[in-house]
Structure 1
């Protein structure tokens, strides 16, 4: 018994397995092309040429079918278009109005929300700075009132 494997139960080692595979590959490829006749060569050329000619059309058909499947799945999920998402207004807590001070300008489309968060953040910062300044002025006015009361005669 001339088997490449040492025993039927033991697993072959990697070098033995690679030698077996390389021997099978060289033997099968050389015998496959050595016994080809003219008819077999013509058949091989027709099969390969047909594949090369039909492959782009098959790929386009597959892409079209896959696109239809994806559209059907997105329709089932209720897919929203990005333009619909841009039109939606998101409430930002702590900010009463998200309108710009200038009412003259007309905005449409995607430029309407461009920089909205930055404008709101800036408006909120300015509002807080004004509140701090007003509080400082109130405190200062109360201090000066206390100084004036000191000089007033109480009866």
Structure 2
């Protein structure tokens, strides 16, 4: 089992994303079925998902997907292999954009199903004392 990644470089070694697309700064808590991460990258004016000068809240789904990949990597003790989103369900966007949220975002994912071929998670992204978006994602691993 891996130790808890304490910084963005350690996180980047475990997720199948590179460079600026590694969106999480650190893991705050990890257990068998749940992970809680933190990031302040939503405020970065050069964020790779920004469009027309803003970061739409739907981009928070990618933050959650990376938390899921990180959770899988911690559970298997090795970097997570690439995956493909097969479905998103019950996604609720409670704010129009993320870049205006002050302070860090908390990104939480809870495994509902985890198998060698893929996984299903419930997720939520919170900031400034509110839930910003939430939903469920299924990922098929390559």
Structures share a fold, TM > 0.5?
A: no
Which structure would you say has the larger Rg?
1
Could you say which structure has the greater relative contact order, defined with CA pairs below 8 angstroms and 6 or more residues apart?
A: 2
What TM-score do the two structures reach when normalised by structure 2?
Answer: 0.20
> Relative to total residues, which structure has the larger strand share, 1 or 2?
2
